[in-house]
Each structure stands twice: as structure tokens, then as C-alpha cells.
Structure 1
Amino acid sequence: MTQIKKITKAEIKEIIPLFDAYRVFYKMQSDLDAASKFLDDRINKKDSIIFGAYINDKAVGFTQLYYTFSSVSLQKSLILNDLYVDHNFRKQSIGEQLLQTAKEFCKENNYKGLALETAIDNPAQKLYEKLGWQKDLHAFHYFWQVK
């Protein structure tokens, strides 16, 4: 049975190995110390909300949501920035449960909605669409990077 819970400062250490594995999945160097500092900062500064998925009291997945705002609609929204499930626990609907929890949190707090970005070849698109996310076809996303 999977339990989903909002992560507090006391529980952040349980998510750090998963967060590090998530970063490695995206071709970054493993760095548990940096991952720990980053997540501690997010929790301490209240920059994000993290939900963890647990099986038998072991953290097996997480999602991290960041706050954003819409000047046009004058509403707060969330960005579902990170979603990761340990490879040993995939295909058990854990990702879906984390996504549903994020949606419920959004509704409970009267946010406008949840945005997410994914690679064009990510097979999880089917899950996102099944759960009600709609592909944005009327806008392009650009990014400027400091070099």
C-alpha cells in the first residue's frame, strides 16, 4: 500500500537519495551534499512543496511543486517541476498517485492550476493526458541561459 505525504524538514533526508537519482537520470553528476542543501533551502525558504511516496515506510518516489503567478488571471499557480519514482517501484501507479495528490493540493488551495513540462518523447505524456493535463499548442516556451 502506497502512502503519499507532504514532506517536512524532518523528513527531507528520506527524499535526498531519490532527488539525487532523479538528477542522475537527467545526466547530472551525483552529489548528495548539494542535493541535500538544495532541498533544505527549498523547504526552509518555503519555495516548494514536496510530496513523498512511501511503501512500508520507505520513500520510493516524490514530486516537487514550485509556486508561480499569473498577472493576467491574478492567480497563483503551481509548476510540477520534478516527478520521480525509484526504478524498482515503477509500474505500480505511484507516479499517478503523486500526480493526483498534486492536483488535490492545487484544488484545496484554490490555485489556478498545475503546469508541467516534459520531453517530446517522454512516454509519461499518456499518463498526463489521461489525468487531465492538456498539451499547450498555442505557445512556445523559450529559455535564456547565462553563459
Structure 2
Amino acid sequence: MPTYTVRQAAIQDVENLSEVFDFYRIFYEQSSDVIGAKAFLQERMDRQESTIIIVIEESTNRIVGFAQLYPVFTSIGMKRSLILNDLYIVNEHRRQGLAGRLLDAVYACGVELGVQGIELSTACTNYEAQSLYKQHGYVKDTKYEHYYVQC
């Protein structure tokens, strides 16, 4: 049984992380673009615009999953919040509790940063993810409707 480490990504992780990030984008029906993925992640880290938490398989030192958090602010609460924008585990490493471990690390990061809360969205048909999020304390927003416009 493999052992895993969960930790915050550092700049030296971008090369390996870009491959997993590309798998994530392909999962969401985007064209493969490892070079673009690397540039995107490098820019987020250089500008300190996101926090990325990674899962590493210890025997291979390979990144097999990640979660990416973006900071936002709540005017009403006058505090920072986080958006859990991305969460992905490589197929062959699923069903080992790694997504749950990532969610625990995301929560710990939020507590450490003193944020008001963590928000995420998922497909209405992604029942497995919805169940996992509920198990980790996330509740469905019944107070506000969320809208989106593509530019």
C-alpha cells in the first residue's frame, strides 16, 4: 500500500504539478497543454495569487493530486474567504481517501489564514463529490443563487 504526503506546493513543484494540472483540465474536456499549464501555475505562484496543496506518493516522489485555493473577500463579513477552485486526484490513486485528506488540509489552511470560510462549486450531477464535501462539513447554499457570465 503506497504512502502519501500532503503539503503546500512550492515553486520547485511546478514542473511535476503541471502534468497533473493538465490531466485535471483534460478531465474537464479541455485540450492538453502542459506548457500552458506550467506557465499558468508558475504565474499564480510567482504572484502569490493562489495556494496549492499537493499529494505526493512517497515511493516515487510523484504528485498524484492537488487542490487550488484562490483568495476573495467578503464585504459583509469584512474578511478574506477562499474559493476551492480545483481538486483532483490522478485516476489510479483514487478511492484511497486522498481527496478527503486534501479537504482536511484545505480546511487547516483556511483556519491558519483566519478566513471566514471556504466556498466551492461542483457539477450538479457530481454526486460522489457532493457526498464527500458534505462529509467534510460543506453545506449547500440555499440562501443565494449563483450566476455566471462568460466574457
Normalised to the residue count of structure 2, the TM-score between the two structures is 0.95
Say what the alpha-carbon RMSD is for the aligned residues.
0.7
1:8 maps onto 2:13 in alignment: no
1:108 maps onto 2:95 in alignment: no
Query: 1:32 Cα shift?
Result: 0.6
Query: 1:116 Cα shift?
Result: 0.2
Equivalent residue of 2:14, what SS?
Answer: helix
Query: 1:2 Cα shift?
Result: 1.5
Query: 1:138 Cα shift?
Result: 1.4
Q: List 4+ stretches of structure 1 deviating above 6 A.
A: none
Query: 1:53 Cα shift?
Result: 0.1
Q: Matches of 1:11 and 1:34 in 2, distance apart?
A: 16
Q: Matches of 2:10 and 2:56 in 1, distance apart?
A: 14
1:95 maps onto 2:99 in alignment: yes
1:133 maps onto 2:138 in alignment: yes
Equivalent residue of 2:147, what SS?
Answer: coil
Equivalent residue of 1:28, what SS?
Answer: coil
1:64 maps onto 2:42 in alignment: no
Q: Matches of 2:15 and 2:102 in 1, distance apart?
A: 19
Q: Matches of 2:83 and 2:65 in 1, distance apart?
A: 18
Aligned residues: 146
1:35 maps onto 2:40 in alignment: no
Q: Matches of 1:145 and 1:11 in 2, distance apart?
A: 31
Q: Encode CA deviations 1:27-68: one digit per residue, 9 max, x unaligned.
A: 000001110110000000100000110112211100000000
Query: 1:11 Cα shift?
Result: 1.2
Query: 1:132 Cα shift?
Result: 0.2
Other-structure match for 2:49:
47
Query: 1:82 Cα shift?
Result: 0.2
Equivalent residue of 2:123, what SS?
Answer: coil
Other-structure match for 2:129:
124
* Structure 2: runs of 5 or more not aligned: none
* Structure 1: runs of 5 or more not aligned: none
Other-structure match for 1:86:
90
